[in-house]
Amino acid sequence: MKIISWNVNGIRACSKKGLFSFLADHSPDVACFQETKATRDQCDEIEGELSAYVNLWHSAQRPGYSGVANLHRVSPLSHQLGCGIDEVDSEGRILVSEHEAFLLMNMYFPNGGSGEERHQFKMNFLEKVIPFFKKMERKKPLVLTGDFNIAHREIDVHDPVRLDGESGFKPEERAWMDHFVAQGFVDCFRLKHGDLKDQYSWWSYRQGARKRNKGWRIDYFFVSEALAPKVKRCEMLQAVEGSDHCPLLLEL
């Protein structure tokens, strides 16, 4: 099974930059998008491309903001929009689809960089979401993917000294990632590639950061430990443009 995950930074904008040609080239069984910035009924201009898939959308109540969506080649067994945390679910941040051997969670974690209030919102979300993961894991093993808006280790940012304490690389965020991994979730990229350096999934649009590879690894595939032996391949497709993030690919 092949799964693509991509923060598209606006699905309509990304569609004009080759999104559906990319999907045609890679033929994923499921494509998980974050930061769609649209509802399904706002996508008339890409209706033909979308209609080739089974669509699942969890959009934010606020127009043009946040949102996640899945495109499936075959309908999942079931799905769930949100995690039961009202203030998070109103922003369209989690979509769960059930497959034969696992539950797939497409997630767009809050960005805490716009002030103390949003940082606290993010930390409250982090505190509540692991119990949700563990509850869902009792049903089936998990595949968790998306934009976590956190770089876990120093190796995951281009300048860990200068960026120490910045949103997305704060000590308390990184400590949460440590705790998350300790709960039995395996980072698929590191599982397959070890401590390979200079591997990033997001680059600022400023100062030619992408050409200079001044990036952050904040997009992930994690799996429950029970699924780790099934991970065949996990890549960050860094040559693919169309967003300030690159797509991720997981093969199970």
pLDDT number for residue 26: 97
Active site residues per annotation: 147
| CB burial of residue 216 (10 Å; 0-12, 13-18, 19+) | buried
- Protein fold of 2-251: Deoxyribonuclease I; Chain A (3.60.10)
Q: Is the pLDDT of residue 93 over 90?
A: yes
pLDDT number for residue 114: 80
* Tens digit of each residue's pLDDT (9 = 90 or more) over 6-45: 999 999 999 999 999 999 999 999 999 999 999 999 999 9
List, in sequence order, every residue forming a beta bridge with 34; answer none if it has no partner: 7, 68
User: CA 219 to CA 216: how far, in whole Å?
Assistant: 9
* Tens digit of each residue's pLDDT (9 = 90 or more) over 117-159: 999 999 999 999 999 999 999 999 999 999 999 999 999 999 9
* Tens digit of each residue's pLDDT (9 = 90 or more) over 57-80: 999 999 999 999 999 999 999 999
CA distances 114 to 62, 111, 166, 168, Å, are: 17, 8, 11, 11
pLDDT number for residue 63: 95
Question: In the chain, what are the domain boundaries?
Answer: 2-251
pLDDT number for residue 213: 98
Crossing angle of helices 116-137 and 171-182, in 10° steps, is 0
**pLDDT mean over 185-201:** 98
User: CA 19 to CA 10: how far, in whole Å?
Assistant: 11
CA distances 223 to 7, 127, 190, Å, are: 19, 19, 12
Q: Using pLDDT thresholds of 50, 70 and 90, give the confidence band for residue 115.
A: confident
Question: Is residue 82 within 8 Å of 60, Cβ to Cβ?
Answer: no
Q: Is the pLDDT of residue 90 over 90?
A: yes
List, in sequence order, every residue forming a beta bridge with 222; answer none if it has no partner: 144, 187
Displacement of CA 195 from its chain's centroid (Å): 21
User: Mean pLDDT over all residues of the chain?
Assistant: 97
Q: Is the pLDDT of residue 94 over 90?
A: yes
pLDDT number for residue 34: 98
50: left (phi over 0), alpha (psi -120 to 50) or beta: alpha
User: Which residues 6+ apart lie within 8 Å of 220 measured at CB?
Assistant: 144, 145, 146, 148, 187, 188, 189, 248
pLDDT number for residue 133: 98
The pTM assigned to this predicted structure is 0.97
Q: What percent of the chain has pLDDT over 90?
A: 98
pLDDT number for residue 149: 98
Provide the sign of the torsion angle of the four alpha carbons 132, 180, 150, 235, taken in this order.
Answer: negative
pLDDT number for residue 52: 95
